[in-house]
Amino acid sequence: MLPVVRIVIARDLLLAMRRRSDVANALLFFIVVASLFPLGVGPEPNLLRTIAPGVIWVAALLASMLALGRMFAADYADGALEQMVLGAAPLGAIVTGKAIAHWLVTGVPLMVLAPLIAIQFDLPADALVVLVASLAIGTPALTLIGAIGAALTLGVRGSGVLTSLLVLPLYVPVLILGTGAVDAAAGGVAVEAHLMLLAAFLIFAAAFAPWATAAALRISLD
């Protein structure tokens, strides 16, 4: 399975580099949405520190969701996805590779940009570290959960809205734990519990989401 995963990751990363505009759209959305809040609420430092975890996490969640549509759409349009389903390679391994590539293209840049955005909110250094750590654990979970919704709505008209309705309730625990970790760090409280729960959620998603996504792809193609 590992060679299949590596091949799929390399393939999807190469395709992403050829479609840089799709990648840039999600990142620009994250930057614009998160940057508008300090301009809208004013320069009061205490208020900015209070809203920073929620604003940054919600912007990252929406940016990740915005990029879900391209995870399977191109392969579905040119028939490659049907060949993957019919091929000898385990579909769950293929889905795992596509999810990892999607996270590398979307989640990792969000982690890199988040501290720069957080500076606008005057977050302390400890909270910045926890913010990056929570995004490093939480964004892969968002990708894995979102893959299920993207597979279920593949080829459906208005699939973007439908995908959002399907995955948003499942995103709520990740959002709560991620923002809670940063809030705790900003308040000088221990954050290990939040991060461990996030890690447990990620492990659960990694164990079950690829196979649920594979089943959803078969349903959509049928």
Instruction: Kindly state the average pLDDT of the residues 199-216.
Output: 93
Mean pLDDT computed over every residue of the chain: 88
Long-range CB pairs of 186-194 (<8 Å, 24+ gap) are: 186/49, 186/52, 186/53, 186/123, 186/124, 186/126, 186/127, 191/130, 194/134
What is the model's pLDDT at position 137? Answer: 95
> Which pLDDT band, with edges at 50, 70 and 90, does 130 fall under?
very high
What is the model's pLDDT at position 132? Answer: 94
3-class state of residue 121 by DSSP: coil
Q: Answer yes or no: is pLDDT of 185 > 70.
A: yes
What is the model's pLDDT at position 131? Answer: 93
Alpha helices (H) in 42-157, listed in sequence order: 45-66, 73-78, 80-86, 91-119, 125-152
Cβ–Cβ contacts within 10 Å for residue 173, how many?
15
Q: Measured between alpha carbons, how far is 201 from 153 in angstroms, rounded to an integer?
A: 23
Lowest mean pLDDT among 108-112, 153-157, 168-172: 153-157
Among residues of the chain, what percentage have pLDDT more than 70? 99
Q: Measured between alpha carbons, how far is 26 from 139 in angstroms, rounded to an integer?
A: 14
What is the model's pLDDT at position 142? Answer: 93
Q: Answer yes or no: is pLDDT of 138 > 90.
A: yes
DSSP letter at 87? S
What is the model's pLDDT at position 16? Answer: 84
Indicate the number of domains in the chain: 1
Give the domain extent around 129: 2-221
DSSP letter at 42? -
Q: Answer yes or no: is pLDDT of 38 > 80.
A: yes
Q: Answer yes or no: is pLDDT of 158 > 70.
A: no
What is the model's pLDDT at position 192? Answer: 92
Q: Answer yes or no: is pLDDT of 103 > 90.
A: yes
Q: Answer yes or no: is pLDDT of 157 > 80.
A: no
